[in-house]
Amino acid sequence: MKYIITPLLTLAICLFSGWSSVKAGEADALPLYLKVSHALFEDDFAAAKTAADKLAQSEDAGSLAASAEEVAKAATIAEARESFKVLSAEAIKVAGEGETYVVMNCPMVKGGGGDWLSADGKVNNPYYGAKMPHCGGPKK
């Protein structure tokens, strides 16, 4: 009996202590990630830096914070887009397998890693902006 109660008690402690809410908290930061993505799509470097800084400072940022800070610190829009690759990889992990977001991919991104999240399924490419605004599609 003792061998059954101990694992059940441990599970209850984990569930009620917030361990299961870590990913949910990070998911709350994804709308800020989308603002960074949209600003890069619009070639609005200042807005991308501002949105990335807000994301980095967000209490929900979790694993997104460090890469968001790198986007915010970028000296050029090209550097911001390069850092956005890492931010997107983290955001995709946070989003998980749900139906809320679509993982998009631009095959033209040098060195690969041209993935990003879309909430509406539209191809608004944050890696090339006005040069190739709708290059890419849902990742297969």
Percentage of the chain lying above the pLDDT 90 cut:
76
Query: What single letter denotes the amino acid at residue 133?
Result: P
| Domain ranges, ordered by start, for the chain | 22-138
| pLDDT at residue 19 is higher than 90 | no
Q: How far is CA 9 from the centre of its chain?
A: 34
pLDDT grade for 98, boundaries at 50, 70 and 90: confident
The mean pLDDT value for 57-64 works out to: 96
Percentage of the chain lying above the pLDDT 70 cut:
83
> Could you give the 3-state DSSP secondary structure of residue 112?
coil
Q: Which residues contact 102 (CB under 8 A, 6 or more apart)?
A: 117, 118, 119, 121, 138
In terms of C-beta distances under 8 Å and separation of at least 24 residues, what long-range contacts does 99-103 make, across chains too?
101/30, 102/138, 103/138, 103/139
pLDDT of residue 112: 87
Q: How far is CA 55 from CA 19, 66, 71, 97, 124, in A?
A: 22, 10, 10, 22, 20
R_g over Cα of the chain: 18
Query: 87 near 53, Cβ under 8 Å?
Result: no
Residue 134: both structure tokens together = 């709708």
